[in-house]
Structure 1
Amino acid sequence: MQSKNKSKTIKNLVTSEKSSLHPRNPHRFRYDFKQLIIACPDLSPFVSVNQYNSETIDFVNPEAVKMLNKAILKHFYHINLWDIPKNYLCPPIPGRADYIHYIADLLASCNNETIPKGKTVKILDIGVGANCIYPIIGTQAYDWQFLGSDIDSIAIKSAQNIISANKVLTGKIDCRLQTSTSNIFKGILSPDEIFDVSICNPPFHSSSEEATAGTQRKNKNLGLKDTNKLNFGGQNTELWCEGGEESFVRKIVLESKTIAKQCFWFTSLIAKKEHLPSIYHALRQAKATEVRTIEMAQGQKVSRIIAWTFLNPEQQKEWQEKRW
């Protein structure tokens, strides 16, 4: 009987693992709410037991989602103070962590399968946002240095507040305001700055109307009465831009050619696979020397990272030997 119960316990542990997430992602398993509440007691009022006798939160409640993020960031990443302005994007951390860990693998593939760590590795986060999530994860997981850019001055100020409030982030993250909505890199980088990777989670929708319709469709499927409610929040610049994801990434591709030798790998998340042919075409026109597509999955959601470089094999080797 004891052996049977033990087998059942092991099975439950296995099935609770989110095997679609990256193997190094610390969020592969169900949230341990007891540990999270120890880290952040303010999470406790938002935790309840569901019909399956498991502890959870109401994921359609923006305050509950925000408090969960605070607890996760404190427990896993040693971030004692984290907050964002009202109605700004409160991102699901497991998926954000996946991007960072796959970027680490990308760098390792050019470094004898060893992940380069420490302050010599510099990452550019295009659209750092008010939440500063990617730099937080990257600095704590691999001790990388980050530069975050954004066209929203409130987002930049929020990110800077998070950095200054946490000693573990001091001296590891810089933030710069992009004053031109037409440019990605121009106006942000000086000619002598070098980055190992640029990352981007581009605006998904092509218009405010499309973003609103997407929110309404999602909430209707969840059975919510308020179909306009944004449980993860998001400002216009975070949710949509003219031409949407496809246009934004094509702009990155076009402008990346102008700083081809300043960055080893340029990358971006791509949510819709139907956008890939157009982006591949843009990369051929830009004459990228190598293009990679990295598949990612979080539960039923499937996305991918597209990565490209203008460095030839000899230049890649030289970069690796000098910097890592």
Structure 2
Amino acid sequence: MSGKRPVAQLHPRNIHQGRYNIDDLCSIRPELKAFVKANPRGDKTIDFSDSQAVVCLNQALLKRHYQIQHWSIPSDYLCPPIPGRADYVHYAADLLGSVNLGRAPVKVLDIGTGANLIYPIIGSQVYGWHFVASDIDPVSVESAQNIVNSNSNLTDKVDVVRQNNSQHFFKNIIEKTDRFALTLCNPPFHASKRDAETGTVRKWKNLKKSAAKRGSQMHGASKKQLNFGGQSNELWCDGGEIRFLKDMVKESAEFARQVFWFTSLVSKKDNIAPLRKVLTEVGAKQVKVRAMSQGQKVSHMLAWSFMTVEEHRHPESL
């Protein structure tokens, strides 16, 4: 039997096409059975407003598709929807398709990896990438490191580091001799704690309406129970997404010869145009924008580089 369709119009290489196979996932993670119920059509699904159910679903998905035997996150930390996160990784991989990286391992930097470590998990297991995973939050760093330590297939692929200065993205992380093919980032998109709380309430109301249409009950679900939880540094920052990304773009210019593709998710389409302007000002030679459909939400991957493909293929000429 199948579960709720996770994401529409996924990348062709995304393994999470179609609906969840609940029976298969329960065979992988028997604890998931406690959260399974039937929707009005008689299909097996779970209550996506129950954070414990979503964590258990993620554990099953990660074990089934990415060979992750042990995965957990601290209470009230962001629990990511895996199909949408995988899409970002696959579209980022497309950027490297025309670049001859030789035999050297593809090295990727994940800015703000979070307690869940989701991008390094997917990127290392699908593409064999080697990751540096950074975060400013000590609890997230500890959680991410615990995930690495608990899974032998991650220990030689992922290095978790703490960024000690919240004003920086690449400084203190990229060493002088480092060369990265790619950077990833899923930035906080709210401008204040109040905005983040308002967004959470809105999502809760939408989820409640959706559950009502399906004929299911939420039974007093609260904000803390929701699957889209998260800490302040995961959800908001002063100036919001646009301020965060403008600062990231400006700092990236200082590492123009150490990273080929810088990338980030952009949740608000209106932010693309001002970011393009800043990228022109700092001298980016390549800028690409890719729309990604995640259910009813459309976000964008912004990618930029200070090198041409030819320069990256022949770095000795720089």
* 1:229-248 equivalent positions in 2, closer than 5 A: 229=224, 230-248=226-244
Q: Percent identity?
A: 48
How far apart are 1:227 and its partner, in Å? 5.9
How far apart are 1:17 and its partner, in Å? 9.4
Deviations 1:261-308 (A, max 9, x none): 000000000010011111111101111001000111012110110000
2:9 and 2:98 map into 1 onto residues whose CA distance is 21
TM-score, normalised on structure 2? Answer: 0.91
Deviations 1:140-191 (A, max 9, x none): 1011100001000110110010001011111100011011011111111211
1:103 and 1:67 map into 2 onto residues whose CA distance is 27
1:62 and 1:19 map into 2 onto residues whose CA distance is 22
* 1:54-69 equivalent positions in 2, closer than 5 A: 54-69=43-58
Secondary structure at 1:38 match in 2: helix
Which of 78, 85, 97 aligns to 1:96? It is: 85
Which of 95, 102, 122 aligns to 1:106? It is: 95
Deviations 1:185-240 (A, max 9, x none): 11112111110000100001110000000011111223365563432210000011
Show structure 1 runs of 4+ deviating over 6 A.
116-119
Which of 136, 143, 146 aligns to 1:161? It is: 146
Which of 22, 28, 34 aligns to 1:33? It is: 22
2:304 maps to which residue? 308
1:118 and 1:234 map into 2 onto residues whose CA distance is 39
More RCO (CA 8 Å, sep 6+): 2
> Structure 2 vs 1, CA of residues 17 and 69 (structure 1 numbering), >3 Å: closer, same or farther?
closer
Secondary structure at 1:205 match in 2: coil
Check if 1:78 corresponds to 2:74: no
8 Å contact from structure 1 (residues 119, 143) kept in 2: no
| Structure 2: gaps spanning 5 or more residues | 209-217
1:206 maps to which residue? 191
Secondary structure at 2:96 match in 1: helix
* 1:291-306 equivalent positions in 2, closer than 5 A: 291-306=287-302
Deviations 1:18-74 (A, max 9, x none): 551001101012111111111111111001111011110000000001100000001
Deviations 1:114-133 (A, max 9, x none): xx698610000000100000
* CA RMSD across the alignment: 2.0
* 1:265-284 equivalent positions in 2, closer than 5 A: 265-284=261-280
Secondary structure at 2:314 match in 1: helix
Which of 225, 247, 253 aligns to 1:251? It is: 247
Q: Aligned AA for 1:277? A: A
